[in-house]
A and B are shown apart, each in its own frame.
Chain A
Amino acid sequence: MQGSKAQESDHQEQRIERSGGETESQGERRNKMRRIAAVPWVMVLVVMVVAACGTPQITEPPDEVTVQLAWAHQYQFAGFYAAEQQGFYAEEGLEVNLLPRPGVAVDVTANVVDGLADFGITFGAGLVVDRSRGRPVTAIATIYRRYPLAFMTLAESGIARPQDFPGHTTRTLTPGGSAVAFEAMMTRLGLDPHSVEQLDVGYDLAPFFAGELDIWPGYLPNEPLTAREEGYDVNLILPDDYGIHLYGDVLFTTDRLIEENPDLVLRFLRATLRGWQWAVENPQEAGPLALKYDSTLDPAQQAAMMEASVPLVYTGEDHIGWMRDEVWQGMYDLLMEQGLLAEPFDVHEAYTMEFLQEIHGGEQ
């Protein structure tokens, strides 16, 4: 007799009732709830009245913002794509252009300093080096809280820890990148970094699988996935396990923009972090967003790499984007030890928590 519709509507009531302390009796609490339940209606009325009085007739044109990415378009920047394609930038009144980095010859920091882009993404340690050279750039958040570098070895080789490295061969290490982490890790453990020979074999994994070289410096969301897909059992030696804590991609801008237009920086960061939150929650959808910028990419592969990147962005400890003093200090100390810094300086100048604190209300 009664339709199933009536039944459904019975169950779809939405109400949220809050109570303060635990000491209140159930009865008191319920009374309070009822009063609180009326509050939304009052708020709706107030909002409607306010909206009716003060609706601006013409919306401001969006602020145009350019971001210099750290590499070619790919899953690595999924949060930015999400912020753009989910409309988070538009909601903050921003029109964001994402500028890919066509090759290593392009100096990301220089492009931002020169004003070609307003924001840039670069390796955390790289930013410390830039700052020591007097480049006026400051990090506002770290996207990849963990440097995804992993030294990959074939399980059958028996190389399972850095102590096993001496006497073996590795693919060429990138100066300012994997070389920094490698040297720091070896030095920390009292091992000679030069005890490992570097071979220039390009980027093809075949010689590694063939055993022509022993150690492959790769990125967690990338080569290890390929190796497992191809059916190889590999060991991953992470610098993170040996006292080397580096931030991967950090988001930075110029000191000038922070000083002259902090509101723009705040809006951009807020929308970007929302984009990353979305990407972390929806890695399967977020990875392929890169295809809008480069249609030659493989969507399934982008999704898999984004999925593998999730723990690098969200670690469960702090909010997405959050930075810790000790990690910055650690990066500084390590670069100082290796003599990579041009001038000593106060590492606090290299980053600011101002915007993260504003967005998250000061809590981690």
Chain B
Amino acid sequence: MRLVRNAFTRLSTKLLLLFLLLAIIPAAVVGYLAYDNGRRTIERVTLDRLDSTSRLREAALERWIAGSETHLRSVASRRRLADAAALLASNDQADPEYRAAHDAMLREHLGPALEEQGCFLTLSIISAQDGLILVSSDETLEGKYRESEPFFVEGKARTYVGKVSYSLSEGGAVMHISTPIHDERGDVIGVLAGHADLAEMTEIMRAATAVSASEDAYLVNTSRFFVTEPRFGKGFALKKAIHTKGAEACLGRGDGMGLYDDYRGVPVLGTYRWLSERELCILTELDQAEAFAPIVALRNATFAAGAAMALCAASLGVIFTRTITGPVLQLVKATEEIGAGNLDYRIAATARDEIGKLAAAFDDMTGKLKQAEGELRKHREHLEELVEERAAELKRTNEGLEAEMVERKRAEEQLKRTLADLERSNKELEQFAYVASHDLQEPLRMVSSYTQLLARRYQDQLDQDAHEFIGYAVDGAERMRRLINDLLAYSRLGTRGKSFGKTDSRQVLEESLANLQTAIGETGATVTHDGLPTVIADESQLTQVFQNLVGNAIKFHGQAPPAIHIGAERKHDEWVFSVRDNGIGIDPQYYERIFVIFQTLHPRDQYPGTGIGLALCKRIVERHGGRIWVESALGEGATFCFTIPDREVEENE
């Protein structure tokens, strides 16, 4: 019954899908083409517009600067101003005439000049002789010197526009424009310097940006700092640096445009221009969200229209299927009835078309089916009895199994919790060891550095004993430094391990032998090895294991020069590596102890070392899922063995 219905639903679904596709595909294609085209057009138009406003701003900035320069020059060229400046430059301050000339200068020249054109915040006259500010509209500046400032040095020779820089005495970012003041003979007597209003520069950059919700324009200097305030930031001038792709490209001394993230991290369309004369970048940017809003709206509309069309098509499809498949439905109903066991059902079709004939044949078939069904029922009843018996048996077994599963799961969870606890406390311990040893380094260095300094600085004043004591102190500090370093290395094994990869153990061995070259040369050691396999391991850690084991074999040699053999053997699913030597050997009672950190069997002066090597090896091998042990007897050499599981695939810890 289910089957028949599914077949039919699939048929109508297919029809419906066909209608839907017919509606959606053209809509989507047209929509996409329009969207893509529109987006590109908008991008081009917007960038062009930003570029031209950028040029306009540059022009406005230059106009503003040129205007300021002209204004300044015209003020400086006033005969009476020059005369007054000459008087101030040459006269003594105590002179009553000086005060009068000073006040007159402010009243008649600087004051009105400031008001005539609002581009300056402060105007000052600086003596050409020594850079002393003779008179200034900002009284606190008078008496100060500007002898090394570029706007003074350059301003004596020509009209000069300074860089935006931070002034300590004025407590903020400033830009100075300056021009020389000449006397009647044409000699320079002073410099007229204006402190330009940076807010106006910001203003110029922002002009006409208000029409858009996000258009932004600002200047950036060669050290990547903002020079004017951007739209979405306050107090950025000379305080905040910018690292956008646009600024980066512009500071490469170029012009251009592009799509990138701006200083807020917002995607923008931007253009940038390098102002070579000012050594500044001008950036003009517009949020992509704003620029592309119209095309997004268009896309949404297309989607909506497409959806509406699809809905129409779907309705049409539904109506269409109904009319065509009405008779078929009747047949389906009959099939369902028969399927449900009602073999007396008849269609009694009236239609004379193909479906009518089909219905008649169907009725005939139903009659025959009814006969056969009686026979079948008998057989089935017997079969059912048998099946029921078996099922009951199966159920019993199942229940037993289930109970066991629950038990196991509980045990497993218990184990997992314990493991997690263990892992966490292990991690904490490692972290502690790392932090502790790291933090111990510095005070220790101080102790050792200053003790050495003491010895060196007071060499002649200290007696033999003192030098000896200092020696002990330095020696102790040095030993502690080594212990801490070892502890650091030990704790790092857990926290800073690399992931495992295919590692050629022969190459690794050669690498560690290269590191041991000096020791091998000094003792005349011979090192041989079997064929070595490729294993899955952390290469640098495996190098360390070999280096430590071979290094130990060399260090603890007997009378004869050390002879060391490295072997590898595959047992079950792991590789067993062995490092055999002919050295002094190890008493079996110490087999465990030698793998414990900072445990040494010999006095320090006999065999130097902190006792970290084997502890490191043990941790590394265990991190790889292997074991490490030693086979030896005192005086008969030792064989250190360790295993690395033979894994097929690379995997992380």
Give the CA-CA distance A310 to B307 in the complex, in Å: 58
* In the complex, per-residue mask of A63-104: 1 if CB is within 8 Å of any chain B CB, else 0: 000100000000000000000000000000000010110100
The answer to whether B222 touches A317 (Cβ under 8 A) is: no
The answer to whether A160 touches B140 (Cβ under 8 A) is: yes
Residues 321-361 of A contacting B (Cβ, < 8 Å): 326-327, 330
Give the CA-CA distance A11 to B48 in the complex, in Å: 18
Give the CA-CA distance A99 to B446 in the complex, in Å: 7
Give the CA-CA distance A245 to B511 in the complex, in Å: 56
Residues 1-57 of A contacting B (Cβ, < 8 Å): 1-2, 7, 10-20, 22, 26, 30, 33, 57
- Chain A, Cβ-Cβ closest to B256: A18
* In the complex, per-residue mask of B132-147: 1 if CB is within 8 Å of any chain A CB, else 0: 0000000010011101
The answer to whether A16 touches B258 (Cβ under 8 A) is: yes
B contact residues around A30 at 8 Å (CB): 44
Give the CA-CA distance A116 to B453 in the complex, in Å: 8
The answer to whether A97 touches B241 (Cβ under 8 A) is: no
Closest beta carbon of chain A to B66's beta carbon, Å: 19
A255 CB within 8 Å of chain B: no
The answer to whether A97 touches B442 (Cβ under 8 A) is: yes
A contact residues around B148 at 8 Å (CB): 243, 245, 326-327, 330
- Chain B, Cβ-Cβ closest to A11: B288
The answer to whether B246 touches A16 (Cβ under 8 A) is: yes
Closest beta carbon of chain B to A158's beta carbon, Å: 13
* In the complex, per-residue mask of B265-296: 1 if CB is within 8 Å of any chain A CB, else 0: 00100000000000000000000110010001
The answer to whether A281 touches B241 (Cβ under 8 A) is: yes
B contact residues around A20 at 8 Å (CB): 254-255
Residues 137-178 of B contacting A (Cβ, < 8 Å): 140, 143-145, 147-148, 163-166, 168-169, 173
Give the CA-CA distance A42 to B197 in the complex, in Å: 47
Q: B223 is contacted by which of A15, A16, A241, A320 (Cβ under 8 Å)? A: A320
Give the CA-CA distance A341 to B457 in the complex, in Å: 23
The answer to whether B169 touches A240 (Cβ under 8 A) is: yes
A contact residues around B457 at 8 Å (CB): 110, 114
Count chain A CB atoms within 10 A of each CB in B44, B166, B169 and give the residue with the most: B166
A contact residues around B48 at 8 Å (CB): 26
Give the CA-CA distance A102 to B447 in the complex, in Å: 12
B221 CB within 8 Å of chain A: yes
Q: B255 is contacted by which of A19, A66, A245, A327 (Cβ under 8 Å)? A: A19
The answer to whether B300 touches A2 (Cβ under 8 A) is: yes
Closest beta carbon of chain A to B444's beta carbon, Å: 11
The answer to whether A241 touches B307 (Cβ under 8 A) is: no
A contact residues around B223 at 8 Å (CB): 314, 316, 318-320
The answer to whether B539 touches A57 (Cβ under 8 A) is: yes
Residues 202-256 of B contacting A (Cβ, < 8 Å): 221-223, 225, 238-241, 245-246, 249, 252, 254-256
- Chain B, Cβ-Cβ closest to A318: B223
The answer to whether A293 touches B296 (Cβ under 8 A) is: no
- Chain B, Cβ-Cβ closest to A98: B442
The answer to whether A316 touches B255 (Cβ under 8 A) is: no
Count chain A CB atoms within 10 A of each CB in B44, B144, B445 and give the residue with the most: B144
B552 CB within 8 Å of chain A: no
B69 CB within 8 Å of chain A: no
A163 CB within 8 Å of chain B: yes
A contact residues around B539 at 8 Å (CB): 57
- Chain B, Cβ-Cβ closest to A36: B256
- Chain B, Cβ-Cβ closest to A277: B241
Q: B449 is contacted by which of A33, A99, A320, A330 (Cβ under 8 Å)? A: A99
Give the CA-CA distance A34 to B533 in the complex, in Å: 51
The answer to whether B303 touches A316 (Cβ under 8 A) is: no
- Chain B, Cβ-Cβ closest to A100: B446
Give the CA-CA distance A319 to B222 in the complex, in Å: 8
B contact residues around A146 at 8 Å (CB): 168
The answer to whether A242 touches B145 (Cβ under 8 A) is: yes
The answer to whether B256 touches A242 (Cβ under 8 A) is: no
B131 CB within 8 Å of chain A: yes
A363 CB within 8 Å of chain B: yes
B contact residues around A17 at 8 Å (CB): 256-258
The answer to whether B261 touches A14 (Cβ under 8 A) is: yes
A210 CB within 8 Å of chain B: no
The answer to whether A316 touches B238 (Cβ under 8 A) is: yes
The answer to whether B254 touches A19 (Cβ under 8 A) is: yes
B98 CB within 8 Å of chain A: no
The answer to whether A13 touches B288 (Cβ under 8 A) is: yes
Q: A243 is contacted by which of B145, B222, B288 (Cβ under 8 Å)? A: B145
The answer to whether B145 touches A281 (Cβ under 8 A) is: no
Closest beta carbon of chain A to B534's beta carbon, Å: 15
The answer to whether B164 touches A316 (Cβ under 8 A) is: yes
A169 CB within 8 Å of chain B: no
The answer to whether B163 touches A317 (Cβ under 8 A) is: yes
B contact residues around A319 at 8 Å (CB): 222-223
The answer to whether B145 touches A314 (Cβ under 8 A) is: no
B contact residues around A206 at 8 Å (CB): none
A contact residues around B147 at 8 Å (CB): 243
Closest beta carbon of chain A to B437's beta carbon, Å: 15
Closest beta carbon of chain A to B500's beta carbon, Å: 15
The answer to whether A316 touches B165 (Cβ under 8 A) is: yes
Give the CA-CA distance A317 to B176 in the complex, in Å: 12
Give the CA-CA distance A263 to B39 in the complex, in Å: 51
- Chain B, Cβ-Cβ closest to A10: B292
Give the CA-CA distance A50 to B511 in the complex, in Å: 24
List of 8 A-B pairs having minimum Cβ-Cβ separation, nearest first: A316-B165, A16-B258, A241-B144, A18-B256, A11-B288, A311-B166, A15-B259, A243-B145
Q: A15-B259, A19-B256, A319-B222 are in contact. List 15 more A-B contacts (CB 8 A).
A: A1-B303, A12-B267, A12-B288, A66-B445, A100-B446, A110-B457, A111-B453, A114-B453, A161-B144, A240-B168, A240-B169, A243-B145, A311-B168, A314-B238, A316-B166
* Interfacial residues, chain B to chain A (CB-CB below 8 A): 39, 44, 48, 131, 140, 143-145, 147-148, 163-166, 168-169, 173, 221-223, 225, 238-241, 245-246, 249, 252, 254-261, 267, 288-289, 292, 296, 299-300, 303-304, 307, 441-442, 445-446, 449, 452-453, 456-457, 511, 539-540, 543
Give 24 CB contacts A-B under 8 Å.
A1-B304, A10-B296, A11-B288, A14-B267, A15-B260, A16-B245, A18-B252, A18-B255, A57-B511, A58-B540, A99-B445, A99-B446, A111-B453, A116-B453, A160-B140, A163-B143, A240-B169, A241-B145, A243-B148, A311-B168, A312-B168, A316-B223, A319-B222, A319-B223
